[in-house]
């Protein structure tokens, strides 16, 4: 048995993980006042789960961060105070067992691959930003040092808007297909058209929230539908690029924004199908992620189980992967 830990901007979720099943789940608000307080909070939830579930063999941790995988050192993070922190070392010291740390989107992709039983899978998590992960031959692709695959920072327009992420580029997928991008465009359009229905949805802070935009699109508001059309088109362009590069058997769309998929999914698939290389496109399925709210925890647990197995035998036994899938 291993533990999976999912550290998000608002909550820390922990569970015992076996295969793709999570039990003894617990969560706690993320403490963001300082690095030490954040780590103490994580330790508190983990110790609570250990008290119920028993001692794990290893702990996997997913964080919204760029991580040097071998050392488990966090380079930089989104929304939580983890920058330049040797997270793997720190948590191993606290718990006295092996700890493995990975980017949360990589964990989500790993979970999705095992949940749907695919060995070649690309996943995009559409939320405040755009996260991405690629599973190749059953294993997470991380690049040379573990900092890949930042799929949200592929530029799809050289002269596009500045990327809202911690990124110097313009026109990244994240600059079009993230919650931040939607709010930026909706606010701009509503401000430019003060007599529009969309303008009536501007909040007291002068901003139009993603939630209001979705509500307006569902009500058939033409301005909101135009923004969603642009979102879907850009997402489709991104999907076509990832299909051409990775040739996955499945490309999954997850994250909080996927709850509004009825406003963009079909149109994005149509756009991707018109752009991807036909031989690759006819062999891929594009689908909403099947993993639920606990996918992050499951992915972190799978990470720990796989790394533990990987450390024992230099090559991952295929049988373990298959069991995980079933």
For residues 91 and 172, which CB has a smaller minimum distance to Zn ion in the complex? 172
CA atoms within 13 A on the CB side of 112: 32
Answer for which of 7, 53, 172, 190 binds Zn ion (CB under 5 A) is 172
Bridge partners (DSSP) of residue 13 are: 6, 27
Q: Quote the least distance from Cβ 204 to Zn ion, whole Å.
A: 30
Residue 147 near Zn ion by CB under 5 A: no
For residues 92 and 178, which CB has a smaller minimum distance to Zn ion in the complex? 178
For 249, residues 6+ apart whose C-beta sits below 8 A from its C-beta are 118, 119, 120, 121, 283, 284, 285
For residues 5 and 177, which CB has a smaller minimum distance to Zn ion in the complex? 177
The helix (run of H) or strand (run of E) holding residue 15 is strand 11-18
Answer for which of 153, 184, 233, 250 binds Zn ion (CB under 5 A) is 153
Residue 163 near Zn ion by CB under 5 A: yes
Q: Quote the least distance from Cβ 172 to Zn ion, whole Å.
A: 3
Q: How far is CA 36 from the centre of its chain?
A: 25
For residues 159 and 326, which CB has a smaller minimum distance to Zn ion in the complex? 159
The helix (run of H) or strand (run of E) holding residue 18 is strand 11-18
- From residue 14, give the alpha-carbon distance in Å to each of 41, 105, 237, 250, 277: 11, 16, 35, 28, 41
Q: Which stretch binds Zn ion (CB under 5 A): 12-20, 160-168, 209-217, 313-321?
A: 160-168
Count of Cβ atoms closer than 10 Å to residue 237 Cβ: 21
Q: Which stretch binds Zn ion (CB under 5 A): 32-40, 93-101, 113-121, 158-166?
A: 158-166
Q: Quote the least distance from Cβ 271 to Zn ion, whole Å.
A: 20
For residues 3 and 175, which CB has a smaller minimum distance to Zn ion in the complex? 175
For residues 165 and 291, which CB has a smaller minimum distance to Zn ion in the complex? 165
Contact yes or no for 122/133 (Cβ under 8 A):
yes
Q: Quote the least distance from Cβ 6 to Zn ion, whole Å.
A: 23
For residues 168 and 278, which CB has a smaller minimum distance to Zn ion in the complex? 168
Q: Please give the angle made by the CA atoms of 107, 291 and 20, to the nearest 5 degrees.
A: 70
Residue 130 near Zn ion by CB under 5 A: no
Q: Which stretch binds Zn ion (CB under 5 A): 46-54, 163-171, 179-187, 266-274?
A: 163-171
Q: Quote the least distance from Cβ 169 to Zn ion, whole Å.
A: 4
Q: Quote the least distance from Cβ 154 to Zn ion, whole Å.
A: 8
Count of Cβ atoms closer than 10 Å to residue 99 Cβ: 24
For residue 303 the two structure tokens come to 């990470």
Binding track over 66-105 against Zn ion, x by CB under 5 A: ----------------------------------------
Residue 169 near Zn ion by CB under 5 A: yes
Burial pattern 167-177, b for ≥16 Cβ within 10 A else e, equals: beeebbbbbbb
Q: Quote the least distance from Cβ 158 to Zn ion, whole Å.
A: 12
Contact yes or no for 186/208 (Cβ under 8 A):
yes
Number of residues counted as binding Zn ion (CB under 5 A): 6
Find the Cα–Cα–Cα–Cα dihedral 264, 265, 267, 273, rounded to 10°.
150
Q: Quote the least distance from Cβ 177 to Zn ion, whole Å.
A: 11
Answer for which of 97, 136, 147, 167 binds Zn ion (CB under 5 A) is 167
For residues 133 and 165, which CB has a smaller minimum distance to Zn ion in the complex? 165
DSSP code of residue 196: S
Q: Quote the least distance from Cβ 286 to Zn ion, whole Å.
A: 22
Nearest to 292 by CA among 103, 20, 96, 98: 20
Chain contacts with Zn ion (rule: CB under 5 A): 153, 163, 165, 167, 169, 172
């Amino acid at each position: 048995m291993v533990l999976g830990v999912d550290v998000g901007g608002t909550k820390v979720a922990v569970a015992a993980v076996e295969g793709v099943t999570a039990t003894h789940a617990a969560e706690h608000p993320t403490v963001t006042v300082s690095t030490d307080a954040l780590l103490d909070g994580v330790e508190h939830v983990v110790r609570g789960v250990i008290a119920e579930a028993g001692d794990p063999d290893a702990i996997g941790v997913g964080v919204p961060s760029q991580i040097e995988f071998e050392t488990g050192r966090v380079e930089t993070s989104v929304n939580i105070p983890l920058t330049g922190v040797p997270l793997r070392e720190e948590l191993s010291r606290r718990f006295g067992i092996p700890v493995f740390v990975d980017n949360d989107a990589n964990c989500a992709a790993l979970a999705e691959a095992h949940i749907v039983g695919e060995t070649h899978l690309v996943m995009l998590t559409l939320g405040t930003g755009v996260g991405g992960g690629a599973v190749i031959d059953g294993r997470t692709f991380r690049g040379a040092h573990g900092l890949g695959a930042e799929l949200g920072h592929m530029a799809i327009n050289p002269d596009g808007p500045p990327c809202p992420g911690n990124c110097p580029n313009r026109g990244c997928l994240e600059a079009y297909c993230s919650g931040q991008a939607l709010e930026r465009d909706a606010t701009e359009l509503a401000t430019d058209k003060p007599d529009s229905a969309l303008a009536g949805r501007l909040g007291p802070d002068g901003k139009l929230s993603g939630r209001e935009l979705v509500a307006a699109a569902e009500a058939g508001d033409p301005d909101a539908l135009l923004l969603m059309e642009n979102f879907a088109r850009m997402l489709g362009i991104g999907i076509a690029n990832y299909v051409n590069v990775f040739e996955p058997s499945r490309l999954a769309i997850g994250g909080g924004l996927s709850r509004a998929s009825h406003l963009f999914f079909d149109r994005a698939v149509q756009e991707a199908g018109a752009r991807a290389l036909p031989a690759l496109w006819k062999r891929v399925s594009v689908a909403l992620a099947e993993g639920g709210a606990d996918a992050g925890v499951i992915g972190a647990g799978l990470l720990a189980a796989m790394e533990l197995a990987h450390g024992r035998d230099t090559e991952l036994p295929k049988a373990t992967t298959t069991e995980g899938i079933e």
